[in-house]
A and B are shown apart, each in its own frame.
Chain A
Amino acid sequence: SQQGEEDPQALSIQEGENATMNCSYKTSINNLQWYRQNSGRGLVHLILIRSNEREKHSGRLRVTLDTSKKSSSLLITASRAADTASYFCATDEGNRDDKIIFGKGTRLHILP
């Protein structure tokens, strides 16, 4: 069974706007990660947020984590055409190993 679920499944916005994607998960976690996948390519790690962190920034990316609601959000500000991709959240299951489970992803399309 999948641990994380992204919402929405697909999102289209105008270039320059902000894009927000959400992830909900089921069990306690040690950390949550966000990845990007361009069409036909492998996944690229974007950001990792630990369970004791509430917010993390990396360039135009802002990730929040609410462990009480078992949810996370990824905000991409000032979107660009190159941000068109699928975005996945991935969570561990609170175990000591590094095994992570991915959600089905959000397909983001930036319109010119």
Chain B
Amino acid sequence: NAGVTQTPKFQVLKTGQSMTLQCAQDMNHEYMSWYRQDPGMGLRLIHYSVGAGITDQGEVPNGYNVSRSTTEDFPLRLLSAAPSQTSVYFCASSGFEGYTFGSGTRLTVV
């Protein structure tokens, strides 16, 4: 089992550029979510989804869009990147006994 796969692992963007962070899971989990992690801030929830076709906002949703067309995939879109979005992004899916996290995407916006 691959678990949760995130791509890319690293990305540098210029201010104003857009991009999509990919997340895929092969565990047939209904629940998926995106977090960002900044130094000293822990993990903050951006968006989450309780199943295909259903998404909702977390703590810090501004500047990000998500969609959930399939159970397996939950992409995160940055519409117009800003330096404040420099962070490490984690995707996770939830099973009966807890979350499985991807290995993260380190994003730098210059």
Contact = CB atoms under 8 A, between A and B. Distances in A.
A60 interface: no
B48 interface: yes
Contact of B42 (A48, A97, A105): A105
A60 B35 CA distance: 29
B101 A48 contact: no
Interface residues on B, range: 20 to 34
Contacts of B104: 41-42
B53 interface: no
Interface string A47-60: 11000000000000
Interface in A62-112: 88, 90, 97-105
Q: How large is the interface on A (under 10, 10 to 19, 20 to 34, 35 or more residues)?
A: 20 to 34
Contact of B33 (A33, A41, A45, A99): A99
A5 to B, nearest CB: 9
Contacts of A14: none
A14 B100 CA distance: 30
A27 interface: no
The residue among B31, B58, B99 with the most chain A CB atoms within 10 A of its own CB is B99
Interface of B: 30-31, 33, 35, 40-45, 48, 50, 56, 58-59, 90, 92, 94, 97-104
